[in-house]
C-alpha cells in the first residue's frame, strides 16, 4: 500500500493547518464584514456542464468520475470512452457559481455579493507550486454593471490581504476593451485581437522583442506590429496616453473613476495602477481585468475581472458580473516560508498526569482552558525528555498536575 498522498496533493501537518485555517477564516470574516455572503457548492459537477463550460485549457484537466453499476457496463460496451463518466471534479469556482445562480436566483438578493472559499481540482502535470487539489478564495458581484462593483471588489480583496498581514502589494488594472482599441488603432483587425493578446500576455517572459517576433511569425503585418510595439514601449503609459491614441472612450473614464475611488480607499497602503499590457488568461473576461502583484514575488497572487456574458448562460440572458480571486496557496506558501506568526492564539499548555492524578487533571484542564489550549499527557519515566519534545512540538508551557508551578518552554516561533 502507498503511504504518500496521491500525486499533486498534500498531507498538511498540524502547524500548517493552523496557519491555513487562520488565513481562510480571516479572509472569510473580512469578506463577510464587507457585506459579502458565502455559499458552498458540491465539489462534483455534472460532466456535461463541465465539458461545455468556458474553461479553456482547464477542460483538458478535469478529473472524471466513472459511472457505477449497470450504467458503467453499458457505457463500457459502447466502446466510447467519453460515455464512461457522468460527473467530474470542478476545476474552478466560476462554473459552479454560474449554475448555482441559475438554480437559486429567486432566493438571492440583487446584486448578489458572494463569497466562495473552497477546493478545486486540476489534473495538472505535477510540478513545484502546482497542486492538483488547491483552495481558491473568490468574491463576485452578480447583477451590477456599475464601476462601483469593481471598487468594492478591489477594496475588499485588499483589506483581506492586509488583515492577514500581507502588506507589500499593488493592484494593476486594465480593460479588455481598451487594450483591444489600442491594438486595433495599430491597424489590426478586430478578429485578430485575441491572438495578439495571447502574445502580449508573454511580455514579462519574452520582452517586447520576443513578442514582436512571435506576432510576425504568426503572420501579422510587420508595420502594424511595429506600430503596436512602439506604443507599448511608451513609458509611462498612462490613461492619458491611451486617450491620445484611441480618443476619450467610455472604458477610459470608467477606469479613471475606479482608480480614483480605489486609491482613495487604500489610504496609501497599496496602489491601483493602470497597466496597459495586463491581459489575464481567461477568455470570458469582457471589460475590466485586475491582478495583484508584489515586488517581493514573481507572478500574480490574485486576479479577476468582469465577465458579463458568463453567469446568464444557464438562464439564457445577459447578467453582468465581476469577480476577484485570491491565490490562496501562493499566499499561504509565502507566509509559511516567512515563519508566519499566528496572532491572538491562546498559548498551548501540556498538563502532565499520572495514573493517580488523572481524575484531578481532567477537571483542572477544563479550568485552565479559559486561558490556554490544554493537552493532557501521561507522565513518562523521564520528564526532562518530555519537556524537550513538547518545546519542539510548539508548546508554550507545561504543568505537572498536583504542582502549582507553570514551566515556560522558551520562545516559540
Q: Which of residues 33-52 bind its own copies (CB under 8 A)?
A: 33-46, 48-49, 52
Task: Choose, by CB under 8 A, the member of 238, 366, 367, 388 that binds its own copies.
Answer: 366
Residues of this chain, 235-254, that bind its own copies according to CB under 8 A: none
The C-alpha cell that represents 288 in the structure block: 475590466
List C-alpha distances in Å: 183 to 134, 230, 273, 307: 36, 11, 20, 21
Stretch that binds its own copies, among 229-237, 329-337, 348-356, 398-406 (CB under 8 A): 348-356
Nearer to its own copies, 48 or 204 (CB): 48
Alpha-carbon span 180 to 189, nearest angstrom: 10
Vertex 325 angle, CA 286 and 31, to 5° = 120
Nearer to its own copies, 369 or 408 (CB): 369
Nearer to its own copies, 40 or 244 (CB): 40
Does residue 56 touch its own copies according to CB under 8 A?
no
Using DSSP's 3-state secondary structure scheme, residue 316 falls into coil
Stretch that binds its own copies, among 76-84, 189-197, 286-294, 329-337 (CB under 8 A): 76-84
Burial of 359 (0-12, 13-18, 19+ CB in 10 A): exposed
Q: Smallest distance, Å, CB 188 to its own copies?
A: 34
Q: Smallest distance, Å, CB 229 to its own copies?
A: 38
Does residue 342 touch its own copies according to CB under 8 A?
no
Does residue 389 touch its own copies according to CB under 8 A?
yes
Q: Smallest distance, Å, CB 175 to its own copies?
A: 20
Size of the site for its own copies (CB under 8 A): 93
Does residue 76 touch its own copies according to CB under 8 A?
yes
Q: Smallest distance, Å, CB 119 to its own copies?
A: 7
Partners of 66 in beta bridges: 85
Task: Choose, by CB under 8 A, the member of 58, 94, 144, 293 that binds its own copies.
Answer: 144
Alpha-carbon span 65 to 46, nearest angstrom: 10
- DSSP of 69-95: HHHHHHHHHHT-GGGGEEEEE-SSSHH
Alpha-carbon span 204 to 206, nearest angstrom: 6
Alpha-carbon span 27 to 24, nearest angstrom: 5
Amino acid at each position: 500500500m502507498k503511504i504518500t498522498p496521491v500525486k499533486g496533493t498534500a498531507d498538511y501537518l498540524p502547524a500548517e493547518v493552523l496557519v491555513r485555517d487562520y488565513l481562510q477564516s480571516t479572509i472569510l470574516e473580512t469578506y463577510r464584514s464587507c457585506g459579502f455572503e458565502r455559499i458552498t457548492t458540491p465539489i462534483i459537477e455534472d460532466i456535461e456542464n463541465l465539458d461545455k463550460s468556458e474553461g479553456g485549457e482547464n477542460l483538458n484537466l478535469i478529473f472524471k468520475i466513472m459511472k457505477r453499476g449497470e450504467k458503467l457496463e453499458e457505457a463500457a460496451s459502447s466502446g466510447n470512452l467519453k460515455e464512461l463518466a457522468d460527473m467530474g471534479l470542478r476545476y474552478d469556482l466560476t462554473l459552479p457559481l454560474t449554475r448555482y445562480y441559475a438554480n437559486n436566483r429567486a432566493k438571492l438578493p440583487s446584486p448578489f455579493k458572494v463569497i466562495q472559499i473552497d477546493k478545486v481540482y486540476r489534473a495538472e502535470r505535477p510540478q513545484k507550486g502546482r497542486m492538483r487539489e488547491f483552495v481558491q478564495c473568490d468574491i463576485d458581484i452578480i447583477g451590477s454593471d456599475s464601476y462601483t462593483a469593481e471598487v468594492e471588489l478591489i477594496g475588499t480583496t485588499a483589506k483581506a490581504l492586509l488583515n492577514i498581514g500581507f502588506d507589500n502589494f499593488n493592484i494593476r488594472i486594465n480593460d479588455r476593451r481598451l487594450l483591444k482599441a489600442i491594438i486595433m488603432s495599430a491597424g489590426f483587425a478586430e478578429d485578430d485581437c485575441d491572438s495578439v493578446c495571447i502574445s502580449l500576455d508573454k511580455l514579462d517572459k519574452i520582452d517586447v522583442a520576443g513578442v514582436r517576433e512571435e506576432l510576425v511569425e504568426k503572420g501579422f503585418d510587420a508595420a502594424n506590429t511595429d506600430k503596436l510595439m512602439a506604443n507599448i514601449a511608451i513609458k509611462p503609459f498612462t490613461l492619458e496616453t491611451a486617450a491620445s491614441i484611441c480618443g476619450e472612450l467610455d472604458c477610459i473614464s470608467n477606469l479613471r473613476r475606479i482608480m480614483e475611488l480605489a486609491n482613495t480607499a487604500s489610504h496609501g497602503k497599496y496602489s491601483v495602477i493602470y497597466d496597459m499590457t495586463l491581459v489575464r488568461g481567461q477568455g470570458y473576461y469582457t471589460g475590466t481585468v485586475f491582478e495583484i502583484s508584489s515586488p517581493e514575488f514573481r507572478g500574480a497572487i490574485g486576479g479577476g475581472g468582469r465577465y458579463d456574458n458568463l453567469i446568464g448562460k444557464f438562464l439564457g440572458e445577459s447578467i453582468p458580473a465581476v469577480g476577484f480571486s485570491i491565490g490562496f496557496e501562493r499566499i499561504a506558501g509565502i507566509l509559511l516560508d516567512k515563519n508566519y506568526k499566528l496572532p491572538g492564539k491562546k498559548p498551548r499548555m501540556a498538563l502532565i498526569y499520572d495514573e493517580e492524578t488523572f481524575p484531578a487533571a481532567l477537571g483542572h484542564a477544563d479550568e485552565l482552558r479559559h486561558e490556554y489550549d490544554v493537552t493532557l499527557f501521561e507522565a513518562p519515566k523521564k520528564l526532562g525528555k518530555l519537556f524537550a519534545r513538547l518545546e519542539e512540538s510548539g508548546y508554550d508551557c507545561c504543568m505537572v498536575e498536583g504542582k502549582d508551578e507553570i514551566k515556560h518552554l522558551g520562545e516559540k516561533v
